[in-house]
A and B are shown apart, each in its own frame.
Chain A
Amino acid sequence: MLDQILVPFMDIQLLILIALGTLFGVVKGLLPGLSVTMAVTLLVSLTYTWETIPAIVTMIAVFYGGVYGGARSSILINVPGSASSLAHTFDGYPLTKRGEAGVAIGITTIYAVIGGAIGLLCLGVAAPFLGELALGFAARDYFLIMFLGLLLVGGLSEGSMAKAIFVAGVGVTLGMVGMDSLTGVERFTFGNLELKSGINYIACMLGLFGLSEVLIQLHNLGKTKADVIIGKVLPPLIYLIKFLPLTIRTAIIGVVVGILPGAGGEISSLLAYDHAKKTVKNPTRPFGKGAYEGLVAPEVAVMSTNGGAMIPMLTLGIPGDAVTAVLIGAMTIHGLKPGPMLMVETPELFWIILGAALVSLIFIVIWGLSAISFFARVILIPKYVLMPIIVFFTVIGSYGINNSVADVYWMIVFGVIGYLLRLYKFPTGPMVLGIILGPQMDVYLRRAIITEEGSIWGFVSSLFIHPISLILTLFVLFTLFSQTALYKKVKGQLLQKFSKKSADV
């Protein structure tokens, strides 16, 4: 069956479909607000009458291309193409500001492929094992993971922790507006039907990052200096080796998050970024100012998550993230039966999908690296032309989430809020983190407690009894501890001791 991997490589029709699909995904990914999930959904209708294999293969291509493409707008204009590319703005946009947009795109392309390949490797080699592993994660483990993600807030604070925490709190509160998914009880809705469905985080993100960025830019409409260099496109090869350990670690993070049903690229990219920040001692530049590692980590994670998400999809029929949920629906429509029997009854499907994803990665390199200078020139467009166009996209993006003008209003509101936040030196990242992770943390916490029949003691002890939970709990405790002054003091003292010792010798 392994030979089935080669099918996509050999069949001309499939090759063309993958090429087009990937291109479509990349282009769409760079349009802020239009999510990959939407693109794949519409492909379901488009490919309805096709045969199963070409249809699925095309959707896989769009999936990979789209997730990769989201990084581009994050880098060039500081507007995330989708929630998974939020982390790319942290170091991607500063790179553009330094005139290294080309390198940034080059890095994301290369590492997208590496990350994607690692994810697929896990899929091909260890799928059943990883699938079982995913099942072992209980609600409390998800809670711990989300909590870890939220602790990233500390890293985004640019100084005042209190401000970051407050903003995150606002985000969490906003995320809880609406009907509680566990009990159906309304929270913070004031009886309004629109609020009942909650505040969409994409509209929030588009406003907070897109519109507010534009508003900030409007402070200065001076001409862009023509002598800003786009820069080399490929990072020096040395970096490939230097970043290898980081790459592998973040790829693991990506795959693990991917296999967890319900957790996708948005979470893995953030966790990866945080991890990079904590573990890379001497980044090429300080994080937040254009560190290459700050771009490598999220991109690797997000692309390996794709592979990870396909594991539960193919081995259990359970979606690993939003896009795989749509893919499962598509398979059902084409007469397949996603579930544990899928691999048994139609094993060739598994390998063909793997092969198609690999081919898609190749095309990502092709499409991604070509016309880089063309894309990078986007920043040279005069602001008075570019800003309206960006806003235009944020409006369409927010509308397109649910075909609702209400989301556009939300986007505008968040745009103004984001602008004010920036003006008063409040960080904006934590709000999006709060809105995405907050409600999930709440749900998992409650589910875990209910599972322990409402006993808090039962909950706390469960954190330490089960192996997976124990590991995660230790991570969380360590992260919390490392933020405190005590830790820094101890660390400082230890370092002093060591340097003294080596000096003596």
Chain B
Amino acid sequence: MVAGKYISTLLIVISLAVVVLSFNIEEQDVFDPSSPSFFPALVGVVMLISALMIARRGIQSPSSAQEETKQHVAVEGNDEEEPEKEMYEKENITQKGINIRLILFTALVVLFAILMNYINFMVLSFLFLFGSMLLLSREKMLRSFIVSLIVSVAFYYTFVHVFHIVFP
């Protein structure tokens, strides 16, 4: 699998990086077990070994892994006494839709973090909460609005006055 090869190579590169960086730790002898670079190098080597083993077995991409588990479940499904109940209805959305949603949501969180230094925290939390709720669902906007309002105000006061957390 193409995806598999990329990931295995990535893992190997990471392990090698760890080992090399360990050698570079200032003025330390990697082979002296009492030095700060011994353990990191050791860990790097272990990582390298596991990365190679992973490469051998091959990485599964998400979709193929799901198919495999589905087959797995179909075979074993009758053995388990209490199958996990389906907690959620299946939502109608495409893979692409999911990816867009994920990226936007993550972007919102990052934005939240960046703006923490510039905007009053209570206002910012309200915006973030309301914004992300809207992002995720267009329905019941009023409810989202109210909940965001209550949560941001309530927790702002709790954190500042009860916990004395100083916000930027």
The reply, when asked whether chain A contacts chain B directly with Cβ atoms under 8 A, is yes
What residues make up the interface of A, taking CB atoms closer than 8 Å to B? 34, 38-39, 42, 45, 94, 97-99, 160-163, 165-166, 169-170, 172-173, 176, 180, 182-183, 185-188, 211, 215, 218-225, 228, 289, 379, 382-385, 387-389, 391-392, 395-396, 399-400, 403, 405, 408-409, 412, 415-416, 419, 423-425, 438, 441-442, 445-446, 449-450, 454, 456, 459
Partner of B155, one of A39, A94, A387, A396: A396
Within the complex, the shortest CB–CB distance from B166 to chain A, in Å, comes to: 6
Within the complex, the shortest CB–CB distance from A359 to chain B, in Å, comes to: 23
Query: Which of B27, B50, B93 has the most CB atoms of chain A within a 10 A radius of its CB?
Result: B50
B residues 123-137 near A (Cβ < 8 Å) are 125, 128-129, 132-133, 136-137
Whole-angstrom CA separation of A94 from B80 in the bound complex: 15
Whole-angstrom CA separation of A403 from B165 in the bound complex: 7
A223 in contact with B40 (CB, 8 Å): no
B residues 1-24 near A (Cβ < 8 Å) are 7, 11, 14-15, 18, 21
Partner of A446, one of B21, B33, B159: B33
Whole-angstrom CA separation of A4 from B89 in the bound complex: 57
Whole-angstrom CA separation of A412 from B103 in the bound complex: 12
Q: A42-B163, A163-B50, A163-B54 are in contact. Are A221 and B36 (CB under 8 A)?
A: no
A408 in contact with B39 (CB, 8 Å): no
A-B interface, 10 closest residue pairs, ranked by CB to CB distance from nearest:
A384-B136, A169-B47, A222-B89, A384-B137, A388-B132, A162-B53, A222-B91, A442-B39, A166-B50, A180-B36
Within the complex, the shortest CB–CB distance from B2 to chain A, in Å, comes to: 14
A169 in contact with B151 (CB, 8 Å): no
Whole-angstrom CA separation of A415 from B105 in the bound complex: 12
A98 in contact with B54 (CB, 8 Å): no
A169 in contact with B15 (CB, 8 Å): yes
A224 in contact with B7 (CB, 8 Å): no
What residues make up the interface of B, taking CB atoms closer than 8 Å to A? 7, 11, 14-15, 18, 21, 25-28, 32-40, 43-44, 46-47, 50-51, 53-54, 57, 59-62, 65, 82, 84-91, 93, 98, 101-102, 105-106, 109-110, 112-113, 116-117, 125, 128-129, 132-133, 136-137, 143-144, 147-148, 151, 155, 159, 162-168
B128 in contact with A388 (CB, 8 Å): yes
B91 in contact with A221 (CB, 8 Å): yes
Within the complex, the shortest CB–CB distance from A430 to chain B, in Å, comes to: 11
Within the complex, the shortest CB–CB distance from A210 to chain B, in Å, comes to: 11
Whole-angstrom CA separation of A392 from B125 in the bound complex: 8
| Residues on the B chain within 8 Å of A389, using CB | 129, 147, 151
Whole-angstrom CA separation of A95 from B18 in the bound complex: 38
| Residues on the B chain within 8 Å of A423, using CB | 62
A186 in contact with B47 (CB, 8 Å): no
| Residues on the B chain within 8 Å of A405, using CB | 113, 116-117, 168
A173 in contact with B110 (CB, 8 Å): no
Q: A42-B163, A221-B136 are in contact. Are A185 and B57 (CB under 8 A)?
A: no
Q: A385-B147, A387-B132, A408-B113 are in contact. Are A98 and B168 (CB under 8 A)?
A: no
Within the complex, the shortest CB–CB distance from B3 to chain A, in Å, comes to: 8
Whole-angstrom CA separation of A423 from B99 in the bound complex: 12
| Residues on the B chain within 8 Å of A456, using CB | 33
| Residues on the A chain within 8 Å of B102, using CB | 215, 218, 419
Q: A160-B57, A162-B50, A218-B102 are in contact. Are A187 and B113 (CB under 8 A)?
A: no
Which A residue's beta carbon lies closest to that of B143? A385
Whole-angstrom CA separation of A94 from B47 in the bound complex: 30
Within the complex, the shortest CB–CB distance from B139 to chain A, in Å, comes to: 8
Whole-angstrom CA separation of A423 from B117 in the bound complex: 33
Within the complex, the shortest CB–CB distance from A379 to chain B, in Å, comes to: 8
| Residues on the B chain within 8 Å of A228, using CB | 85, 87
A388 in contact with B129 (CB, 8 Å): yes
Within the complex, the shortest CB–CB distance from B38 to chain A, in Å, comes to: 8
